[in-house]
Chains A and B, each alone.
Chain A
């Protein structure tokens, strides 16, 4: 239980404007291992934090291509190779009749790529996070805006990082400990 190792600092912000401003400030100060927390996505935050584009679309593309190729192989192999059955004089395989199932499986596997890709990239499910120890942080899914800085950040300093957060408009700057309290 309560190991007293410090995980980082967290500060509350009044609204999305101060949050965006503070995120820019931390980026400009050279911080890398900080995170912004909000009840809804704040417009412009990705740029403010200097984040790279999400790679979810590439996972979706992979899923879609897998679905497409898989569906074509499935219909060709089952119908024309493994067990050909003559039905109504139609060919054993043709792209025309294969189109609906190919389309559906491409969409299905793309959607799997989008949802499970997003979940995996976000390292969810995540039952515990050190910030869960902070009572005020519960408001993050309601009306709370927060920024946390991790100890692992090379620029981290209990004194200077706190001062920076406060100068950027951070309220209730709190030390976060690792492990369940």
Chain B
């Protein structure tokens, strides 16, 4: 078998990243103000997940020092990358995704880094945050360009995030392997990516809000909303599983039919049924409001989704174990090195995530201020009723402190 755990883990991590962009870009465009307390967090998760994902193709090329061959850099051989290959599309898709996510995250961080600069207690922190904030001081002429740039980045990220997993799915769908060569792959991969990404946000958010006492910011409502998205996308994924079977039968292609019967009842049936149980069956518990507003349940079910979505990619990749030529049939068992690399990426992911929680604001400070009712100049507490009168402000109108949610 030509592909194994490397591609499984790559797709798994790229998929996890998608929720971050979805929260930061798509929910921003839909003006879902509740997103402001989880977007920073989720965007960080995106960036770190994509970094973990990139570990696998880097190792998988075999000669890491020649990785730059994937980029169109003039070289002494006069050769260029093959732009007809979906694997090369993936190089562009994932590296663009990483770069744009990083820029989006950094843009959002600029005003908050300035806040940290102005509250810094040590000289080192003052300089470090000062340089990173680019000298942001909140001038309205700056805010004007900033808000426009942020809106455009959100607008760019929304189609970008959909394109990334679409192109990842092309790695499979453009081949002629039975079980891979299907048009359902792009939407099916995107739905799965959102599903797994939101599960990872829950996995991270539930302990973080408890440990850092962020319950007033990341509220039960946030967790519940995300659980609803998990329930919805989980059913989309379940629908895709069913539709794959239907098309395999309806296509009357014996190779297609065999692949799917073999998935559910062949040597890898155990993996298939873990996938179905974790992705389709257990998320149904989120129909109950009690369960989707319960932190322990949310955490446990999110772990199930993480496991299920890893197995989804495993099941898809394992289609390779029996394709056209029976002489090429095999049973693939990952080695300890395969698992070691995978476990190692969790180490990378959590190290980066904990460093982020330690040194950067995990909640978008300026954005949360901006969505508070007191941030609106026409807020009734200011007693001006829109006519910009000259009367003195009522004493309680100092909007600057307190009042988490209006």
Binding site for B on A (CB under 8 A): 14-21, 23-24, 35-46, 49, 51, 54, 56-57, 60, 74-75, 78-79, 82-83, 85, 87-88, 90, 97-98, 100-101, 103-105, 107-108, 110-112, 114-115, 117-119, 121-122, 124-129, 131, 137-144, 169
Q: Could you pull out 22 A-B pairs where Cβ atoms are within 8 angstroms?
A: A15-B393, A15-B399, A17-B384, A21-B377, A24-B388, A35-B141, A39-B369, A40-B111, A51-B144, A56-B152, A57-B152, A88-B84, A97-B84, A100-B93, A101-B89, A104-B160, A110-B156, A114-B149, A117-B149, A137-B137, A141-B111, A141-B115
The interface centre, meaning the residue of B135, B152, B369 with most chain A CB atoms within 10 A of its CB, is: B152
Separation of A110 and B43 alpha carbons in the complex (Å): 19
CB neighbours (8 Å) of B117 from chain A are 141
B145 contacts A54, C-beta separation under 8 Å: yes
Q: Closest residue of chain A to B147, judged by CB?
A: A41
B139 at the interface (CB under 8 A from A): yes
Separation of A126 and B131 alpha carbons in the complex (Å): 9
CB neighbours (8 Å) of A75 from chain B are 83
B131 contacts A125, C-beta separation under 8 Å: yes
Given contacts A15-B393, A45-B140, A114-B153, whether A108 and B100 have CB atoms under 8 Å apart is: yes
CB of A170 to closest CB in B, whole Å: 13
Given contacts A37-B140, A45-B140, A107-B159, whether A16 and B375 have CB atoms under 8 Å apart is: yes
A138 contacts B149, C-beta separation under 8 Å: no
Given contacts A37-B140, A41-B146, A54-B145, whether A21 and B388 have CB atoms under 8 Å apart is: yes
Q: Closest residue of chain A to B84, judged by CB?
A: A97
Given contacts A16-B376, A100-B167, A142-B115, whether A87 and B82 have CB atoms under 8 Å apart is: yes
A20 contacts B377, C-beta separation under 8 Å: yes
Separation of A90 and B137 alpha carbons in the complex (Å): 55
A17 contacts B137, C-beta separation under 8 Å: no
The interface centre, meaning the residue of B96, B163, B367 with most chain A CB atoms within 10 A of its CB, is: B96
CB neighbours (8 Å) of B142 from chain A are 122, 124
Given contacts A14-B393, A107-B156, A141-B138, whether A19 and B377 have CB atoms under 8 Å apart is: yes
B170 at the interface (CB under 8 A from A): yes
CB of B72 to closest CB in A, whole Å: 6
B170 contacts A78, C-beta separation under 8 Å: no
Given contacts A56-B145, A101-B88, whether A38 and B138 have CB atoms under 8 Å apart is: yes
Q: Number of B residues whose C-beta is below 8 Å from A?
A: 72
CB neighbours (8 Å) of A82 from chain B are 78, 80
B145 contacts A103, C-beta separation under 8 Å: no
B210 at the interface (CB under 8 A from A): no
B78 contacts A40, C-beta separation under 8 Å: no
Q: Closest residue of chain B to A55, judged by CB?
A: B145
B10 at the interface (CB under 8 A from A): no
B119 contacts A142, C-beta separation under 8 Å: yes
CB of A138 to closest CB in B, whole Å: 5
B330 at the interface (CB under 8 A from A): no
Which B342-376 residues sit within 8 Å CB-CB of chain A?
Answer: 366-367, 369-370, 374-376
CB neighbours (8 Å) of B149 from chain A are 56, 114-115, 117-118
CB of B389 to closest CB in A, whole Å: 8
CB neighbours (8 Å) of B374 from chain A are 15-16
Separation of A44 and B378 alpha carbons in the complex (Å): 10
The one of A42, A54, A87, A137 in contact with B375, judged by C-beta atoms closer than 8 angstroms, is A42
B242 at the interface (CB under 8 A from A): no
CB of B54 to closest CB in A, whole Å: 15
The interface centre, meaning the residue of A88, A90, A104 with most chain B CB atoms within 10 A of its CB, is: A104
What secondary structure prevails in chain A residues at the interface with B? Answer: helix
CB neighbours (8 Å) of A101 from chain B are 83, 88-89, 92
Separation of A67 and B275 alpha carbons in the complex (Å): 40
Closest 7 CB pairs of A and B: A143-B400, A118-B149, A78-B80, A17-B382, A126-B135, A40-B370, A41-B143
A114 contacts B375, C-beta separation under 8 Å: no
The interface centre, meaning the residue of A36, A40, A54, A142 with most chain B CB atoms within 10 A of its CB, is: A40
Separation of A42 and B134 alpha carbons in the complex (Å): 21
A121 contacts B145, C-beta separation under 8 Å: yes
Q: Closest residue of chain A to B131, judged by CB?
A: A125
B247 at the interface (CB under 8 A from A): no
A104 contacts B135, C-beta separation under 8 Å: no
Chain B, 368-406, contact with A by CB distance < 8 Å: what is the 0/1 string?
A: 011000111111001010001010010001111100000
Which B232-283 residues sit within 8 Å CB-CB of chain A?
Answer: none
Separation of A83 and B76 alpha carbons in the complex (Å): 13
Separation of A108 and B140 alpha carbons in the complex (Å): 27
Q: Closest residue of chain A to B92, judged by CB?
A: A104
The one of A54, A79, A122, A169 in contact with B80, judged by C-beta atoms closer than 8 angstroms, is A79
CB neighbours (8 Å) of A51 from chain B are 140-141, 144
A105 contacts B153, C-beta separation under 8 Å: no
Which B64-81 residues sit within 8 Å CB-CB of chain A?
Answer: 72, 78-81
Separation of A18 and B383 alpha carbons in the complex (Å): 11
The interface centre, meaning the residue of B139, B170, B366, B397 with most chain A CB atoms within 10 A of its CB, is: B139
